[in-house]
Amino acid sequence: MPEGLIVKALSGYYYVARLDEEGKPVSGEQTVQCRARGIFKKRGESPLVGDRVRFSLTENGEGTVDEIRKRDSELIRPPVVNVSLAVLLFSVKEPDLNLTLMDKFLVHIEHAGLDAVICLTKRDLLANEEPDDSLEQVRHLYAQAGYEVLITSSKTGLGTERVKELLAGRISVFSGQSGVGKSSMLNALKPGLTLETSAISSKLGRGRHTTRHVELIPLDNGGLVADTPGFSQLDFLELGVEELSSCFREFASYAAECKFRGCTHTHEPGCKVTEAVEAGEIARSRYENYVQFFEEMKEKKRRY
């Protein structure tokens, strides 16, 4: 029974790419359109994009998904599995850079257990403006928190080689609000792909959703990228308030030394996280966003 990888799910069909002996999709081969066996529904399971599966071919040239292999990771939104890296894209202009929203996305990525790289897009839109060091400040801020930050332009090719290098041989997900250039970046990474890109609404300052379903796009270096719908709003309903601090990775070493177990890092005496903020070892803007999210989550908990 052949093994494959689900690269697209649409209208009850699963499009499976056959895997070679090394577990990599066979290049140049058409995907097999499959239905899932009824047993999955009885178990309350569903195949997802990114699943490694066993499948059998039917007489009409289509196939049936018979077995789902063990998953390494699973995302709820977007529904994709076996992802190891999230590329978080935020534009420097159109829409303007929003670090509070960026931190909210990072919380969700950390909660999902994924590694993350931050990609600042549309650098070309600043080309004719007076030079400033604001992007370097952002790079330093998030490097201090433990993230790699890339400054890129799909139009000029700036930074795209490094992005492609990070995507090699793994399943990755592109994440970020609408209109930041996710599809443009994928088009730059794989010439000829021609994904639809969206114009930015001048009235709202954000883009239209151009991606309707999750699909893994193969790159020529063995990487597979999920181009996913953009989200302008995120909520914390699936995240417990006690889990929030662990989603700020720079807190970890300090939190372990706090005086009280279960310290919320908001008001307790002997809190090493707040001491690190005062000492400049943790960025104040990141800490202030943590407190804002903490209060938001407590309020929602009371409401529900």
In a shared domain, residues 169 and 272 = no
**Of 277 and 202, which is predicted with more confidence?**
277
In a domain, 248, yes or no: yes
Residue 247 is assigned to a ligand binding site: no
- Which CATH number belongs to the domain containing residue 53 in this structure? 2.40.50.140
pTM: 0.85
Average pLDDT, integer, range 115-123: 95
Q: Is 178 flagged in the annotation as binding?
A: yes
Residue 33 assigned to a binding site: no
Answer whether residue 10 is part of any domain. Answer: yes
Q: Is 46 annotated as a binding residue?
A: no
pLDDT in tens, 128-185: 665 567 899 999 999 999 999 999 999 999 999 999 999 999 999 998 888 898 889 9
Under the banding of pLDDT at 50, 70 and 90, the label for residue 227 is low
CATH of the domain at 136: 3.40.50.300
pLDDT at 234 over 80: no
Residue 32 is assigned to a ligand binding site: no
pLDDT digits (tens, 9 = 90+) for 264-292: 999 999 999 999 999 999 999 999 999 99
Same domain as 46, residue 147? no
How high is the pLDDT of residue 194?
A: 64
| 106 and 53 part of one domain | no
pLDDT(259) > 90: yes
**In this model, does residue 199 exceed pLDDT 60?**
no
Confidence grade of residue 208 (pLDDT, cut at 50, 70, 90): very low
Total domains present in the chain? 3
User: Using CA atoms, how far apart are residues 15 and 65, in angstroms rounded to an integer?
Assistant: 10
Question: Residue 267 annotated as binding?
Answer: no
Q: What is the pLDDT of residue 106?
A: 94
Residue of 133 and 197 predicted with greater confidence: 133
> Are residue 55 and residue 161 in the same domain, yes or no?
no
Q: Is 61 annotated as a binding residue?
A: no
Same domain membership, residue 90 and residue 218: yes
Q: For residue 232, is pLDDT > 80?
A: no
Instruction: Say yes or no: 133 and 209 in one domain.
Output: yes
214 is in an annotated binding site: no
177 is in an annotated binding site: yes
Which of 49, 70, 91 is the last residue in one of the domains? 70
Q: Is 121 annotated as a binding residue?
A: yes
271 is in an annotated binding site: yes
Say if residue 65 carries a ligand binding annotation: no
**Percent share of the chain, pLDDT over 90:** 65
57 plus 172 within the same structural domain: no
End-of-domain residue from the set 199, 227, 255: 227
Give the pLDDT mean for 40-58. Answer: 94
For the residues 6-33, what does the mean pLDDT come to?
90
- Determine the structural domain holding residue 140 and report its residue range: 80-227
